[in-house]
Amino acid sequence: MKKFTIAIALFLSGLAAQAQTKSVPTQAAAEAAEQESLAKDYLSQIMGVAASATSNMKLFHFVYDWIGTPYRFGGSSRKGIDCSAFTKQLYSDVFNMSIRRSSRDIFSMVSPVGKDDLKEGDLVFFKIHSRSISHVGIYLGNGRFAHASSKGVAISNLDEAYYSRYFYKGGRILDSFKNEFSASASSDEKFDEKPTN
User: Does 186 reside within a domain?
Assistant: no
Query: Do 173 and 84 fall into the same domain?
Result: yes
120 located within any domain? yes
pLDDT band at 24 (very low <50, low <70, confident <90, very high): low
3-state secondary structure of 139: strand
For the cut 50, the answer to whether the pLDDT of residue 183 exceeds it is no
In sequence order, what DSSP letters do the residues of 117-138 get, joined into one string? G--TT-EEEE-SSSSS--EEEE
- What torsion do the CA atoms of 181, 186, 190, 196 make, to the nearest 10 degrees? 70
Same domain, 44 and 114: no
Q: 77 and 2: one domain? A: no
Same domain for 89 and 110, yes or no, is yes
Total count of domains within the chain = 2
Same domain flag for 67 and 148: yes
The CATH number of whichever domain residue 85 belongs to comes to 3.90.1720.10
Residue 191's pLDDT band (cuts 50, 70, 90): low
CB 78 within 8 A of CB 141: no
Residue 193 covered by a domain: no
Local structure of 168: helix, strand or coil: strand
Q: Average of pLDDT values for 188-196?
A: 55
**Structural domain for 114, as ranges:** 56-177
**Residue 166 burial by CB count (10 A; 0-12/13-18/19+): exposed, middle or buried?**
middle
Q: Are residues 100 and 42 in the same domain?
A: no
Q: Are residues 129 and 167 in the same domain?
A: yes
What's the pLDDT tens digit per position in 56-69? 889 988 998 999 99
- Tell me which residues are annotated as active site: 83, 135, 147
Please give the pLDDT value at position 50: 64
Q: pLDDT tier at 161 (50, 70, 90 boundaries)?
A: very high
Give 63 or 37, the one with higher predicted confidence. Answer: 63
Q: How many CB atoms lie within 10 A of CB 128?
A: 18
